């Protein structure tokens, strides 16, 4: 193991001394007795400025003891940030001679509170999220070489900038969002550096997703013999048949890769087949992209859905048809999505693959809560309110995310603990009772719900593949892995308090 430079040890000792004795950095005289006006000077050094630069095993316990999700809120802006004076503007250009061009984001920062502090800026649109950090007082630039098509160009050109500096300014409903994070997040962002390429809609992004899942998830990605598409007869598909989908490219590919990593799942998306009274086949699917670029819950004719997956879905989806056992065919319940982003969290600290923790989850939610508040309200605010009521027995109405963070800690709990409260079967959401989305993705293919005789699969399933899968893969270059497929008997309160940490995702006997 490489040794760290001696100056880091000196900084560490100074940091620990300052943390144990915070007044070491404060003036020792009583200025009120002198009757003078004090002008605050820029500090040469502040111990918290260098904590993110120390080894993570050493710095994170200290940082987490000093920081809570509450510190993400804009009320703490004045005393938490590095630069006190900030301006930003967006300049459009077309240096790549593309249809919609790109842009240069200018950020001018000044009046730092110390010589060693830094701020992290996260730049986001609904089509991308990226970041940079600054510690010099001057004008900085960030390049958007090309907009992601017409939709992003229209989004950012409608209103150049709509939020600046830790969510405290809201000028409009479009544009480039700029979020300011404290330098304590630098360690997290550095540790997650290999995550950012996952969302690139390029061949490089697809390779990054495959490499990430091989490294962190233990996936194999064995190539299948061609054909990589199987056009099975729709007569062999019935209501309730399950579609397990694994995307490895683009925006949703990156999202699903992280979802698989934290939950231990081998599929990141699902859909269900439905037949109407006239026998027409439909596909019910959430997260469907409509023509306006919105993610909606849709019920589409099979032919339209299949055509999109074959020719228009740029996420390179791998799709498996899981025929439902006839004895398990019942009327469906509304699709559940309210707790999708955190329903894999059953414990305070035994479900987060490093460097994730509750602070990072709160950070992501805070950013998204400002970018798309209506989306955030559906995805987690309502579910968090139900958990808040279950824990505190106090119903304060529809709290938004900042209020939930404040009220939870005021009652002696924590955001980390709030996330662990299991979904209850009797909870009724604004759109009715809702089954937990995570059950449909993480556990559905492992439950004994499907046909257990591979000879009864639709014709042409896995055609030409020497590896006879117990399910029917109908699209994808790589062989899908659904470990534990069709093996688990359902039981009450399934997987409500179960640790799941990579790479083995080992569970106790009662999980």
Asked whether the beta carbons of 153 and 101 are under 8 A apart, the reply is yes
pLDDT (tens digit, 9 = 90+) per residue, 54-106? Answer: 565 565 565 555 454 444 433 323 344 678 788 888 888 999 999 999 999 88
What pLDDT band is residue 305 in, cutting at 50, 70 and 90? very high
Mean pLDDT of the chain: 73
In the chain, the percentage of residues whose pLDDT exceeds 90 is: 17
pLDDT, average across residues 35-42 = 36
Q: What Cα–Cα distance (Å) separates residue 433 from each residue in 271, 338, 427, 453? A: 19, 11, 6, 33
pLDDT of 2 above 80: no
Per-residue model confidence (pLDDT) at position 473: 93
Q: Pick 263 or 385 by higher pLDDT.
A: 385
- pLDDT surpassing 80 at residue 223: yes
pLDDT band at 17 (very low <50, low <70, confident <90, very high): very low
- Is residue 207's pLDDT more than 60? yes
The domain ranges of the chain are: 6-67, 75-196, 203-336+435-475, 358-433
User: Could you tell me which of 165, 188, 160 has the C-alpha nearest to residue 176?
Assistant: 160
Whole-number pLDDT of residue 49: 55
Q: Is the confidence at residue 501, as pLDDT, over 50?
A: yes
Taking only the tens place, the pLDDT of each residue in 375-387 is 777 778 888 998 8
User: Percent of the chain at pLDDT above 70?
Assistant: 69
Distance (Å) of CA 31 to CA 26, 34, 310, 412:
12, 5, 73, 37
SS (H, E, C) 334-375: CCCCCCCCCCCCCCCCCCCCCCCCHHHHHHHHHHHHHHCHHH
State the pTM of this model.
Answer: 0.59
**Strand boundaries in 276-316, DSSP class E:** 281-289, 295-301
Q: How far is CA 339 from CA 202, 390, 420, 447, 494, in A?
A: 30, 15, 11, 21, 16
Q: 387: which 2 tokens?
A: 């958990």
Predicted confidence (pLDDT) per residue in 437-457, tens digit: 555 455 678 888 898 877 778
Rg (CA), the chain: 25
Would you place residue 6 in the very low, low, confident or very high pLDDT band (cuts 50, 70, 90)?
very low
Strand pairing category for 281-289 and 269-275: antiparallel
């Amino acid at each position: 193991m490489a040794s760290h430079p001696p100056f880091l040890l000196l900084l560490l000792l100074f940091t620990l001394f300052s943390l144990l004795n915070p007044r070491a950095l404060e003036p020792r005289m009583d200025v009120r007795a002198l009757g003078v006006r004090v002008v605050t000077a820029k500090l040469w050094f502040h111990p918290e400025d260098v904590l993110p630069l120390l080894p993570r095993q050493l710095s994170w316990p200290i940082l987490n003891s000093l920081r809570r999700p509450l510190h993400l809120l804009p009320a703490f802006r004045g005393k938490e940030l590095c630069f006190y004076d900030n301006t930003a503007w967006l300049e459009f250009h077309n240096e790549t001679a593309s249809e919609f061009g790109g842009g240069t984001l200018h950020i001018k920062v000044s009046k730092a509170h110390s010589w060693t502090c830094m701020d992290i800026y996260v730049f986001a649109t609904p089509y991308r999220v990226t970041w940079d950090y600054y510690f010099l007082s001057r004008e900085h630039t960030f390049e958007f070489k090309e907009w992601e098509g017409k939709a992003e160009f229209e989004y950012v050109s409608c209103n150049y900038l709509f939020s600046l500096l830790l969510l405290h300014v809201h000028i409009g409903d479009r544009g480039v969002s700029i979020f300011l994070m404290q330098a304590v997040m630098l360690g997290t962002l550095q540790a997650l550096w290999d995550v950012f390429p996952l969302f690139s809609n390029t061949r490089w992004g697809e390779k990054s997703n495959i490499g990430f899942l091989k490294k962190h998830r233990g996936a194999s990605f064995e190539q299948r013999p061609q054909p990589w598409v199987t056009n099975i007869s729709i007569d062999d598909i019935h209501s309730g048949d399950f579609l397990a989908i694994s995307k490895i490219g683009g925006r949703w590919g990156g999202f699903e890769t992280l979802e698989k990593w934290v939950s231990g799942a081998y599929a990141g998306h699902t859909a269900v087949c439905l037949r109407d009274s006239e026998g027409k086949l439909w596909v019910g699917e959430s997260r469907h992209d409509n023509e306006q670029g919105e993610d909606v819950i849709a019920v589409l004719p099979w032919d339209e859905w299949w055509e999109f997956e074959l020719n228009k879905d740029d996420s390179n989806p791998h799709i498996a048809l899981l025929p439902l056992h006839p004895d398990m065919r019942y009327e469906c319940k509304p699709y559940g999505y309210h707790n999708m982003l955190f329903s894999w969290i059953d414990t305070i600290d035994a479900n987060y693959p490093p460097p994730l923790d509750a602070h990072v989850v709160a950070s992501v939610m805070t950013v998204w809560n400002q970018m798309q508040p209506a989306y955030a309200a559906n995805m987690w605010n309502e579910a968090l309110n139900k958990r808040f009521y279950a824990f505190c027995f106090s119903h304060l109405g529809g709290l938004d995310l900042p209020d939930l963070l404040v009220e939870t800690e005021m009652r002696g709990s924590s955001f980390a603990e709030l996330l662990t409260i299991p979904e209850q079967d009797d909870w009724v959401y604004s759109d009715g009772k809702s089954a937990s989305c995570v059950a449909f993705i993480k556990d559905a293919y492992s439950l004994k719900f499907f046909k257990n005789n591979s000879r009864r699969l639709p014709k042409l399933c896995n055609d030409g593949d020497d590896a006879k899968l117990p399910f029917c893969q109908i699209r994808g270059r790589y062989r899908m892995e659904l470990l534990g497929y069709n093996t688990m008997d359902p039981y009450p309160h399934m997987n409500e308090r179960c640790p799941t940490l990579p790479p083995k995702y080992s569970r106790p006997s009662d999980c």
